[in-house]
Structures are given as structure tokens and as C-alpha cells.
Amino acid sequence: MTNAAFDTTFFVPIVLNRAIPCDSCRLELEVGGDAHLGRTAAGWTCLCPACTAAGRVPTALTLWRPIEAAVAGLRGAASTFATNAQRVFHTVRVATRTTFRWLLAKLRGDRRAGPVAVRRAFEELGPTYLKLGQLVASSHGMFPEAYCDELRACLDRAPPFAFDQVARTLETELGRPPREIFADIDTTPLASASIAQVHAARLRTGEEVVIKVQRPGLPPLLAADLAILRFVARRLEKQRAVEMANPVGIVEDFAATLGDELDFGLEAANLDEFNRIMTRHGHDDVVAPRPVHALVRPRVMVMERFHGHRVDDVEKLRARNVDGEAKLLAGMRAWFRCLVFHGFFHGDVHAGNLMALDDGRIGFLDFGIVGRFSSERRTQITDYLLAFALGDFDGVVDVMIAMGSASSRVDRKALAQDLKTSFEPVLGGASAKYADMLPAILRTSVRHGLRLPREMVLVSKQMIYFDRYAKVLAPDLNVFRDPRIVMALAEDVMAARAFVPNEASRRGG
């Protein structure tokens, strides 16, 4: 049977497996009842037998949702399969080419053959691997130094994408042409990273802002790359030599971090939370950019613009007579208070994310990566920091066992002695470099069958950053043993632990 009103669609009799109304008379058709299904210009249409026989036209040509959902699902699965297949082929091709480059360089006696080959491969493979390269580059002491140094190139190698793509994303996400929202936008990006690009702009109200725009087409690409990395990690974990490095855990943490960074709405909430905490503790001199909430979407975030200099730009800070040591101590106190009182902290305080602002304040940027601890984990981490600062390595072992990184059957005395040997250079004076000690700490962990918890590693990374800033801003400052830092941390820990039961008793009352 055909019907011209439906653009010569064929209707076929079916038996319903779910209740659904007739698209013409709206009669509710029951499960097991007869109906006629046809494809119209507007989509799938279901008619009762009476309406079909009468040749009626539905009042609203609605899509028959189960059919459309199935078709959409199949299309999505096909697209995902195609993307994954392309990425696997491309990754294998790059890996093969990289292996040959590495072998040739080794034959020529090039000691940097491995790091250079990996860096070139990461650049060729794009955003996911550039982000992975940035992770390695910012983790001195946790990866071989040669790789950390070479992969620093990944910090500024993300190519900018065209401004017309920026404009399209803005219009899609904000629902209006950019010219209706912004008085002007600088078409040259302030920064271009693996996940997003940042442009300076001015709202029609006159307020200076920056616009953070996500790279086009990232989610399917990242999903395909992460599937490959998970496959490789599972294979590596079967090798006893790398089992304790926990490659699967590293990839899962990396995936979780990327997932958080893709949601700019989540980052805007993190900015607000940090500013609330700073206000609550009276840190008027430490701030994060204020998001313009009406202009925040999953792929776009508009926020306050900061003016100032990176915290490691010593020459410019000295030219402005900035007290680098005072700024560092204030920034560290604010960071510790977030952790100690709220179990929330900035998880990526590299120099590009920490600024000395022109108005004298300290600015924390980029809250795509944050740490969050439960009350129990917060207590354990602060116990770890205090035990470490006081040289109480028996206490450090107790915390590691409580956190599950060490078995209660571990030789506690031997582990404490090994940790003391690893940490003593750090505690000895301002000239010690914490980054140099991490390899020894990791070797100790492997020797005793430990897996360092992600939280401990994340906190340790931030301490490496602070230690690095101390070397350039205040060479005589030991961020791990300075009495001002240790006393402030101890005071905050005591206040936080008194604060929690008091809060609970007030809620109970």
C-alpha cells in the first residue's frame, strides 16, 4: 500500500513490542497489537490499522523513537569503529617509523635517540600524546631526566587552530554570533595547548576577559587514543619488570584527568570553589579568575583576564621589586589551606599556572586538574607531610600502610631506613633538589613491593613545583624544612581537625 501524502512511503504491518500511540488519531496501541509502520519524509511513522485503511495523514509526523535510536546508535558505533581503526593504523605506523629512527640514531651513537624519538612521535600523534608528553615533562624525578627535558618541547608545541573554527565553536556553544557578545576578540591566541586555545577579548560591557575554546573534534580522538593506551598498559602490566609501576593505573588517572579537563563547566566550578576558600580564610591576595557564568559551556569558558608575569620570570619580577620569597610563601600557605581544611587543591601548579599579578596579588590559573580527598585521605596526607617534614620516617611508613600502598607484613624498620636514606638529602639544606630524590624514592617503593597512591604522587608533584620556584626566587629557602612553612602547616592541621568535629556537633544539634 502506498500513500502520496507520505512521499510514496510503504507501510508494512507489524506486531508492537511496546505501547505507542498512533501518530494520526493518537489511539494508544498496546503491546502485541497490530500497527502499520512506514518511513515518511519526516522519519518513522506508526499508524493504527484503521487510520492506514482510511489513508489518513498524521497531525504530527513524529519519529518512531526506538527505530531512530537504533539507527543513530548503529551510525555512532560505525563512526567510533572507523575512528578507532584509523587511530590504530596511524599509531602503529608512527610507532614503526619511530622504532626505525631510534635504531638508526642508536647505531650513530646518539645518546638522546630515545627521548628525541618519543618526542617526535608524540608531536606527530597529536593532542592526546602532547598532553601525555606534558605530563612527563612536568614530572621530574618520576620519569628519566632525559625524557623530561626533551618532552618539555611538548609544553609549547601544540599548533593553534584557525580562528574561524574558534568562531564556529563560540556560536554553536553560546547560541549567538560572537559579535553580539564581544566588542572585540584578538584573533591571535594568547596561548594554544593540547586541549584548548585562549584568546583575549572584551565584552560589550567593556570588561577585559579571556575566552578558552576547546579544540574541535577532541572527544572521539581522545577516546580512541585512550583505548590504545589501555591496551598497551594491560600488556605491559603482565611484565614483572614494570608491574610495580602500575601502567594501568597511570593510564586510568590520565584518562580521568583528560575527562575532567574536557568539561569547562567543571573547571568554572573549581575556580569558584577556590575563590570561596580564599575569601573564607582571609587570603585576599590570592585569587583565581572569575568565570562569566552566563558564557560558560562544556567547550567554552569566558573568564576574567589577569595581567602579570609567570612566577618563574625572575628578571621581570625583580624589575618590579617583587619579593619572590614572600609571594611563594603566601602561595604555598593558600595551597596548603585548601588541602588541609577542604581536601581540595590545584593539581597542576607549574609556572604557567601561577602568576605574580600587576596589582600585587597571586593568581592561580587553569583549574582543569584538581585534587579532591575524603576526610580520611586528607588526614593521611597531612600526616605524611608532617612526618616527612619532621624526619619521622616510622610515621611515614605508618601512613603508607594506612593508605594501602604498603602491606602490614612489610619490614617496617627496613622500609623506614630506606626512606630515610632517600629523603635525607632533601631535608639537609636549601641546596638539595627534591626532584633528584624521587627516583630513589621510587626505587625504594619497588624494592619493598609498594605502589605509591595517586594522591601521594599528585601532592609530591606540586611540592616539586614549589621546590623549583624556591630555587629561583629564594635560593636559601628549603620548602620542606623552613620553620615558617612547617609551623603554619602544623597549625592548620590542628585547626582543621578541631574544625571537623565542631562542624559535626553543630549539624547534629
pLDDT along the chain (509 residues), means of 10: 43 71 80 73 73 67 46 52 74 87 80 86 89 79 77 78 94 93 95 91 95 91 88 80 66 83 91 94 94 94 94 85 86 91 88 88 91 86 83 85 73 86 66 59 72 74 81 79 83 79 45
Q: Which of 348, 383, 482, 492 is catalytic?
A: 348
Contact, 274 vs 367, CB < 8 A?
Answer: yes
Domain spanning 2-63, CATH architecture: 2-Layer Sandwich (3.30)
Which pLDDT score, from 0 to 100, does residue 460 have? 77
**Could you tell me the pTM of the whole model?**
0.75
Q: Rounded distance, CA 460 to CA 385, Å?
A: 9
Which pLDDT score, from 0 to 100, does residue 439 have? 63
Which pLDDT score, from 0 to 100, does residue 154 have? 79
Which pLDDT score, from 0 to 100, does residue 73 have? 53
Which pLDDT score, from 0 to 100, does residue 287 have? 96
Enumerate residues 6+ apart whose C-beta is below 8 A from 129: 121, 122, 123, 225
Enumerate residues 6+ apart whose C-beta is below 8 A from 4: none
Give pLDDT tens digits for 425-474: 666 655 555 555 666 666 677 777 776 677 777 787 788 788 878 878 88
Q: Hey, what's the cell of 127?
A: 593532542
Q: Is 398 a catalytic residue?
A: no
To 5 degrees, how large is the angle CA 163–CA 166–CA 171? 130
Q: For the chain, which residues make up each domain, given as ranges?
A: 2-63, 101-159+217-262, 163-216+263-364, 373-508
- CATH number for region 163-216+263-364: 1.10.510.10
Which pLDDT score, from 0 to 100, does residue 403 have? 79
Which pLDDT score, from 0 to 100, does residue 425 have? 67
